[in-house]
Chains A and B, each alone.
Chain A
Amino acid sequence: MLSWLLLVPLVGSLIVWAVRDERTMRLVALAFAFGPFALATALAFLLDPGRAGYQFLEQQTWIPAIGISYKVGLDGISLPMVWLTTLLTFLVFLYSRDSRTRSYFALFLLLEFALLGVFVALDLFLFYVFWELVLVPMYLLIHGWGGPRRAYAAIKFFVYTFSASVIMLVGIMALYFGAGAHSFDLERIAAGAPQTSQLFQVLVFAALFLGFVVKMPQVPFHTWLPDAHVEAPTGGSALLAGVLLKMGSYGLIRVALPLLPEGARFFGPIMLVMGILSILYGALVCLAQQDLKRLVAYSSISHMGVVLLGIALLSQAGLASAIFMMFAHGLISPLLFMATGAIQHGAGTREIAQLGGLALRAPQAGFILTAGALASLGLPGMAQFPAEFGVFLAAYLGVGLWVLVPILTIVLTAGYYLWALERSIFGKLSPIAEQAQDVRAYEFWPMIALVALIILFGLWPGPWLGAINAAVLNNVLPGLGLGGTP
């Protein structure tokens, strides 16, 4: 079933490329985006959250000589990411109805294929292949459909994250040899790696961590992100923020933590400080932004800081909440990027200072942007709240009243979002907003779908969180040598 999930977008990518007629191409592309979404939704219902280990496993020897195999599986940690990937691809296709060529859609399907591969791979070599494969379509999307400085942003994105992942590859190689399994199979490495010496673990963790943290990205490795976002087309930004960033935190949880518990414990305080620094640094820099899209980009750094903080605490509550935070942010940041994209489309600019009073002319744009901002500032009843609450809870458990430092973000975040709203969509009507058009229907409904999902998962986070909790308990904590402590 998982192979089908991978195959559909890959085949779709080729077919879309081949179709000449534009209208047919759009329909075909939509169909191939809907297919994986339907499959992933089915998987969400079929997954048994109580079962330990991975489900829907498929394994095929690939290069037996050096222990590489095609091995894929799913659990409560990867499922939310897989579903998110398929959902966002589908919504982006609905949203991008204006003059896009077939290569745009083909690249998106290729990107979807690679992303899904990262989240289902259970063989580190396979994981790495998919990981690097993600770069190619994303690079081309930024380069081909981006803003004025797209060439700079695209190459920066590529070189920065590629360099980091090469160092990650070193770590993977070290695991291959060091764990004594001479295999890339995640589960086989897991059997041996935790017993290696502390120094080995710390060094390998450092290599993996660098690859992951640049992807997330966290301060001070974050500067590729604002540039990439500002230049990327809206759909690219949506997937970049919604899913690509999560590759980093997913890698930490899936690979680095359970395989290298000693390394994780050594790096725990470093991750903690880095997470808190990113939370506050990102939020403060947001206050200074003039461009709505750049603001949303920096807010992603701040919110991914919450994820890293949750991971750094190395506890069930922290990890489960961090994963839910990844999911919530995966719904909210694409919504915000789509909203800024629609505003750019309707008003011709994203400059906060030029936009005043937009809600008068474009009430739907105002509604969506407000909804996204409220979700992102952690309003209870929306998806991010249970996640943030859980991370802070775990943080209090881990560091006591020091939690007052990262928790400051709930005021800062409210500050930069509401202040941006005050200046851009409220207040007196500016000349530019006067001429603005409201959101188009094909842009509106995908965003409304996201708003509805954000509220749904905010009011009813129980089932997802249950599956995540169980997966953390069964598939991550044993590697860390931790039982079911909260």
Chain B
Amino acid sequence: MSSVPFELAWLIPLLPLGAALLIALFGRWLAERGGWLAVAAGGLSLSLAVPIAWNGLQLREPFTSSFGWFAIGQLQLRLGIYLDQLTALLLIVVSLVSFLVLIYSIAYMHREGPRLRRYYAEMSLFLGSMLGLVLADNYLMLYLFWELVGLCSYLLIGFWYERPAAAAAAIKAFLVTRLGDLFFLVGLLLFLIDFKTLSFAELFSLQVSPQRPWLLGLGTLFFFAGAMGKSAQFPLHLWLPDAMEGPTTVSALIHAATMVNAGVYLVARTMPLLIRAPVDLLVIALLGGFTALFAATLATVNTDMKRVLAYSTISQLGYMFLGLGAGGFAQALTTQEGAGYAAGLLHLLNHAFFKALLFLGAGAVMHAMSDSTDLRRMGALWPKLKLTGTAMLIGALANAGIPPMSGFWSKDEILAAAFSGGHPALLTAWLLGFATVFLTSFYMFRLWFLAFAGRPRWPEGARPHEAPPLMAWPLVILSLFALSSGFLSSAGLRRYISLGEPHLMPARELLAQTFANPWTILSSGLALAGLAIAYLLYHRGLDLARYRTALGGSVYRLLLERYYLDRAAITLARRVTVGFARLLDRFDQAVVDGLINGIGRASVGLGQRLRRTVTGSINDYASWILAGVALFLLIYVIWR
């Protein structure tokens, strides 16, 4: 493996990007309209990414390679790659999950026919952009791919653009994330002017000028605002549930491999700067903890399978930010390892596997149920869909954080890091995250029982059937990862992904210590309690109405209405902003244009009066020129 030179890392994003171009141009004549080319490019990228990432994990110093791009005034901007442990981790996650999703697409999307060309071109562009994002060696290049990732999600969420809901979801995704990008962009300007560079290598070794230390905190906070948009943190989470309007494979890619990870990656990447701004880290941790709980409450009432998963993603991303914030804060104040940092990133890895699994499983369910995602119309699918059901059960267990599944390990480390963070804000965030454990387990199993257990509530004519092999195999592979990645990464990979000197434990010690921790036992108990309640309500047939009254009608309604935030946002955009725009447009025509036309009419009137002595319109202009010459003579005489 050591024989792969790092320079080849350039090819990792370029292969899918090239495939995207080829498919766009010649897809019409390619097998599966370019689908197999996309798979091949993704596979080649993966086979390059794995050895390069493996070697990258062992690097002592980051590998960089760059060239000049353009200059603004005296400021040089560059394109380049930056390879360190963080990049390596993301390379593996992105290329592996995307590759599986692409294979799955071949079977899942087949009936789309001629539109597949667009689908595979956009998916390849998506993958290439995300790989470029994690390889970028400076913030401007990161921003370039960041926007391309946003573009691809816009295009793919709106894949079925003739559906008004899909078109609306696409624009919402773009605009909400762009609101975050605006701050990201200002952060770029701030860094470029005040620190004279956007290159990671230079910024991380930078001595901040003591006159304006707050600039660093402000700039990194702006970066976090960008991350909030991409990673759907409150209040910029609004776009993500609607993004379910796209094909399920797109949801899997957005939620597991690409888009939402970009924000977490940005914060992790900025960590060397953030630890000089501890207040930012507290903000990040608190907002993460709040979002985790907030989104989890919304997942408990939704009856759309994909939307439950979407809220779950938002919630899990909150955990990641909580981990990063807590880890960074610990590193900033003490010299110990900020364990939360590694935990947050390992959670990204674990989450990518089990969330991709869940989405692809949901796709298999939709495939079986003629594209319905309505949990109320499912039930008793287990006998018909044993493989899909098993896969989703594994995914649900992992997502719920029930030991020994993958989600358990990283989530618990995050909570432990927050608990021992040594700041009231972190303790608050911990409490929010801790409460989320119960809800997470509850909504995951609510979903599973509603779909696979109980009585069939299928629409008429439904004949559920298991997925074809091209869809089944990715499910099997992802199930294996969801089962094992937690322990393996906590025991093995963790040594490479750390902030400060890693505090390492042999596997046996890790096991012993984890299960001797009372908080771990308590949180596992909470998760099991969530599972049990979901079982009682949705398997033993305590019906929804009772749950509703148990929860209280008004709370239930509040949750169903998503705390009225979506409605408020739409009012703000469509009523307030567009209303103001219409007013301004009327002002423009009546006042600004009216004034000019008035002046025009007045001069025409004047001209007509002049016409009695002079003739023709040319003379109008002649008189203008005459007046002009007179004026300049005047100026000349006075200021000679």
Q: Which residues of A contact B (CB under 8 A)?
A: 156, 159-160, 162-163, 166-167, 169-170, 173-174, 177-178, 196-197, 199-200, 203-204, 219-220, 222-224, 281, 284-289, 315-317, 320-321, 357, 359-360, 374, 379-381, 385-386, 389-390, 392-394, 396-397, 401, 403-404, 407-408, 410-411, 414-415, 418-419, 421-422, 425-429, 461-462, 465-466, 469, 484-486
Contacts and interface: CB of A to CB of B under 8 A. Distances in A.
Interface stretch (B184-192, B323-331, B344-352, B379-387): B184-192
A392 B636 contact: no
A173 B628 contact: yes
B182 A408 contact: yes
A396 B167 contact: no
A285 B596 contact: no
A259 B148 CA distance: 42
Interface string B551-594: 00000000000000000000001000110111011001100110
A277 to B, nearest CB: 12
A396 B632 contact: no
Closest 6 interchain pairs by CB? A317-B73, A287-B581, A486-B73, A288-B585, A173-B632, A426-B167
B588 A407 contact: no
Contact of B158 (A156, A223, A426, A461): A426
A397 B186 CA distance: 12
A14 B585 CA distance: 43
Contact of A393 (B72, B154, B174): B72
B584 A469 contact: no
Given A288-B585, A394-B73, A429 B636 contact: no
Contact of B162 (A167, A169, A428, A486): A428
B182 to A, nearest CB: 6
Contact of B171 (A381, A408, A422): A422
B178 A414 contact: yes
B600 interface: yes
A435 B631 CA distance: 59
Given A220-B592, A320-B73, A174 B192 contact: no
Which of A316, A427, A461 has the most C-beta atoms of chain B within 10 angstroms of its own C-beta?
A427
Contact of A407 (B75, B143, B182, B639): B182
B279 interface: no
B158 A414 contact: no
B171 A174 contact: no
Given A285-B584, A428-B162, A469-B71, 14 more contacts: A156-B597, A173-B632, A197-B639, A223-B592, A380-B147, A386-B70, A393-B192, A396-B189, A403-B189, A415-B175, A422-B171, A426-B162, A426-B164, A462-B68
29 contacts: A159-B600, A166-B625, A169-B625, A170-B629, A170-B631, A170-B632, A173-B632, A173-B636, A203-B635, A223-B589, A223-B592, A288-B578, A288-B581, A288-B582, A320-B72, A379-B148, A381-B147, A393-B193, A404-B186, A418-B170, A422-B167, A425-B161, A427-B167, A462-B69, A462-B70, A466-B70, A486-B73, A486-B74, A486-B75
A316 B72 CA distance: 8
Interface in B120-177: 140, 143-144, 147-148, 151, 154, 158, 161-164, 167-168, 170-171, 174-175
A199 B639 contact: yes
State the main secondary structure of chain A at its contact with B: helix
B161 A426 contact: yes
B636 A411 contact: no
B84 interface: no
B640 interface: yes
A284 to B, nearest CB: 5
Contacts of A461: 69-70
Contacts of A486: 72-75
Nearest to B636: A177
Interface string B189-222: 1101100000000000000000000000000000
Given A177-B640, A404-B186, A410-B178, A316 B74 contact: yes
B413 interface: no
B515 interface: no
A415 B569 CA distance: 14
A374 B578 contact: no
Nearest to B574: A419
A173 B629 contact: yes
B581 A285 contact: yes
A390 B72 contact: yes
Contact of A410 (B71, B185, B593): B185
Contacts of B624: 163, 166
A397 B189 CA distance: 9
Contacts of A357: 162
A330 B566 CA distance: 38
Nearest to B595: A220
B280 interface: no
B179 interface: yes
Contacts of B593: 223
B367 to A, nearest CB: 25
B181 interface: yes
